[in-house]
Amino acid sequence: MSTVMQAGPLAPLDLPAPTDVTAAQLRGAHCVWCAGELHGDTAVDLEPRHDSINGVPGRWYPRGCRSCILQPVLLLVRTHPGTCEQCTDDATLCETRHALRALALELRR
Ligand SMILES: [Zn+2]
Ligand SMILES: [Zn+2]
């Protein structure tokens, strides 16, 4: 049996290539954008990514700090509906849109 990985709402975020970041950034200890040290209450999980790392298929666990992730998330909130069939159909039923808006609200606090 294989489990299909469902792409989360943050999957379309543009991240640095895994080959361009440090080991600490690969495991989510440092912000994937600014390389700042992360703590539980300031870190935002960006969902595990599957990428080829130095030619080896691998998984990494990018995380970002709140100040780095706010703008990309706000941008996703704006651009998501144009890329989503569910939103074209009935945006109130789109879980991705709900998740993005909830995250944006949370980050702005
Ligand atoms: Zn950062
Ligand atoms: Zn949608």
Residue in this structure with the two tokens 């992730």, named with its chain if needed: 69
71 shares a domain with 52? no
61 alpha carbon – ligand 1 mean position (Å): 15
Is the same domain home to 49 and 77? no
Query: Are both 60 and 73 inside the same structural domain?
Result: no
Tell how far CA 3 is from the center of its chain.
20
Q: What is residue 68's predicted lDDT score, i.e. its pLDDT?
A: 94
- The Cα 38–Cα 87 span in angstroms is 34
Beta bridge partners of 58: 51
In a domain, 5, yes or no: no
Same domain, 23 and 56: yes
| Whole-Å CA distances, 90 to 4, 35, 36, 47, 84 | 25, 39, 39, 26, 10
Q: Minimum-distance ligand to the CA of 81? A: 2
**Residue 32 maps to a domain:** yes
Q: Do the domain assignments include residue 11?
A: no
* CA 32 to ligand 1 centroid distance, Å: 7
Residues 81 and 103 placed together within one structural domain of the fold: yes
The reply to whether 80 and 104 lie within a common domain is yes
What is the full per-residue pLDDT of the chain (109 aa) written as tens digits? 445 555 788 988 889 999 899 999 999 999 999 999 998 888 999 989 988 877 888 899 999 999 999 999 999 999 999 999 999 999 999 999 999 999 999 998 8
Q: Identify whether residues 38 and 59 lie together within a single domain.
A: yes
Nearest ligand (C-alpha, residue 87): 2
Whether the pTM exceeds 0.95: the reply is: no
What ligand is nearest to the CA atom of residue 46? 1
6 in a domain, yes or no? no
Ligand 2 geometric centre to CA of 46 (Å): 18
Single-letter code of the amino acid located at 49: R
Burial class, 17, CB count within 10 angstroms (exposed 0-12 / middle 13-18 / buried 19+): exposed
Q: Is the same domain home to 24 and 60?
A: yes
Q: Are the CB atoms for 9 and 99 separated by under 8 Å?
A: yes
Q: How many domains, the chain?
A: 2
The CA 86 to ligand 2 mean position distance, Å, reads 5
Does a structural domain hold residue 12? Answer: no
Domain range enclosing 24: 18-65
Ligand nearest to the CA of 100: 2
pLDDT of residue 52: 82
